[in-house]
Amino acid sequence: VIPFTQPAPTRRIAIAWRKSFVRVEAVEKIAEAIRSIGSDYMKVVNG
């Protein structure tokens, strides 16, 4: 892997859903899967 020069590019990923969405558990599972990646290149900001 070739590292980026500084400042390295970043991405912010967010999960959002409507209050009326009936499959909230599905959204929670997706968030859990993303958090479980455990990469040194990823930081959980809120969650």
Q: By residue range, what is the domain housing residue 24?
A: 10-40
Average pLDDT over residues 13-29: 91
20 located within any domain: yes
pLDDT exceeds 80 at position 46: no
pLDDT for 47 equals 57
Alpha carbon of 30 to those of 16, 19, 23, 38, 46: distances in Å? 11, 17, 11, 14, 15
pLDDT exceeds 70 at position 28: yes
Q: Report how far apart the first and last C-alpha atoms of the chain are (Å, whole number).
A: 29
The domain tally of the chain equals 1
pLDDT band at 35 (very low <50, low <70, confident <90, very high): confident
Task: Enter the pTM of the model.
Answer: 0.60
Window from 9-13, 29-33, 39-43 with minimum mean pLDDT: 39-43
47 located within any domain: no
